[in-house]
Amino acid sequence: MSDGSKWPARRFDLNKEDIDLVIDRLLTSKRDAVEDVDGVVADILADVERRGDDAVIEFTRKFDQIELTPDALRIPAEHIERAADQCAPDDLAALNQAAARIEAYHQRQFPEDARFTDQAGVELGHRWTAIKSVGVYVPGGTASYPSSVLMNVIPAKIAGVDRIVMVVPTPGGQINPLVLAAAKRAGANEVYRIGGAQAIGALAFGTATIPQVDKIVGPGNAYVAAAKKQVFGKVGIDLIAGPSEIVVVADGNNDASWIAADLLSQAEHDVSSQSILITDDSRMAQDVETAVEAHLHTLDRAHIAGQSWTDFGAIVLVPNLDKAALLVDAIAPEHLEIALNDPDAFAEKVRNAGAIFLGRYTPEAIGDYVAGTNHVLPTARSARFASGLGVLDFMKRTSIVRCDADSLAMIGGAAVTLAEAEGFGAHALSISIRLNR
- The C-alpha atoms of residue 178 and residue 280 are separated, in whole angstroms, by 43
99: amino acid identity, one letter: A
Mean pLDDT within 18-46 = 83
Query: What are the beta bridge partners of residue 163?
Result: 133
Is the distance from CB of 364 to CB of 261 less than 8 angstroms?
no
- Whether residue 335 lies in the annotated active site: yes
Mean pLDDT of 257-283: 96
For the chain, give me the number of helices (H) and strands (E)? 17, 14
pLDDT digits (tens, 9 = 90+) for 328-378: 999 999 999 999 999 999 999 999 999 999 999 999 999 999 999 999 999
Q: What are phi and psi of 284, to 5 degrees?
A: -60, -40
Q: Which residues pair with 133 in a beta bridge?
A: 163
R_g over Cα of the chain = 26
Does position 30 have pLDDT exceeding 90, yes or no? no
What mean pLDDT value characterizes the chain? 94
Q: Identify the active-site residue in 334, 337, 364, 375.
A: 334
pLDDT score, position 221: 87
**Concatenated DSSP letters for 77-138?**
HHHHHHHGGGS-HHHHHHHHHHHHHHHHHHHTT----EEEE-TTS-EEEEEEEE-SEEEEE-
Please, what is the end-to-end C-alpha distance for the chain in angstroms?
79
Region label for 141, one of left (φ > 0), alpha (ψ between -120 and 50) or beta (otherwise) = left
Q: Of residues 140 and 403, which shows the higher confidence score?
A: 403
**Does 334 participate in catalysis according to the annotation?**
yes
Residue 74's φ and ψ, nearest 5 degrees, are -90, 135
Domains by residue range for the chain, with CATH: 10-32+242-371 (3.40.50.1980), 38-113+129-237 (3.40.50.1980), 403-432 (no CATH)
> How buried is residue 380: exposed, middle or buried, by Cβ count under 10 Å (0-12/13-18/19+)?
middle
How far apart, in whole angstroms, are the C-alpha atoms of residue 137 and residue 170? 13
Strand order in the sheet with 114-117: 114-117, 123-130, 395-402
Rounded mean pLDDT, 287-291:
97
Length of the chain equals 437
Q: Are 91 and 359 spatial neighbours (Cβ–Cβ below 8 Å)?
A: no
pLDDT band, very low/low/confident/very high, at 2 (cuts 50, 70, 90):
very low
- How is 366-410 classified by DSSP, letter by letter? HHHHTSSS------TTGGGT-----GGGGEEEEEEEE--HHHHHH
Kindly list the distances between the CA atom of residue 174 and the CA atoms of 67, 70, 137, 265, in Å, as whole numbers in the listed order.
Answer: 12, 18, 17, 27
Residue 121, phi then psi, degrees to nearest 5: 85, 10
Specify whether the CB–CB gap between 395 and 129 falls below 8 A: yes
Q: Which of 289, 335, 364, 375 is catalytic?
A: 335
Task: Give the residues across from 12 on adjacent strands.
Answer: 316
Query: What does the alpha-carbon distance between residue 36 and residue 47 come to, in Å, rounded to a whole number?
Result: 19
Paired strand residues for 397: 128
The answer on pLDDT for 158 being more than 70 is yes
3-state secondary structure of 133: strand
**Tens digit of each residue's pLDDT (9 = 90 or more) over 117-140:** 999 999 999 999 999 999 999 987
pLDDT given at position 1: 45
- How remote is the C-alpha of 353 from its chain's centroid? 13
Is the distance from CB of 285 to CB of 277 less than 8 angstroms?
Answer: yes
Within the chain, what is the greatest distance between any pair of CA atoms? 87
CB 192 within 8 A of CB 159: no
Give pLDDT, residue 141: 61
Alpha carbons 353 and 236: distance in angstroms, whole number: 24
Q: pLDDT confidence of 32, banded at 50, 70, 90? A: low
Task: Calculate what percentage of the chain has a pLDDT beyond 90.
Answer: 88
Q: Which amino acid is at 214?
A: D
Q: How far apart are CA 225 and CA 302, in angstroms?
A: 26
* β pairing state of 114-117 and 123-130: antiparallel
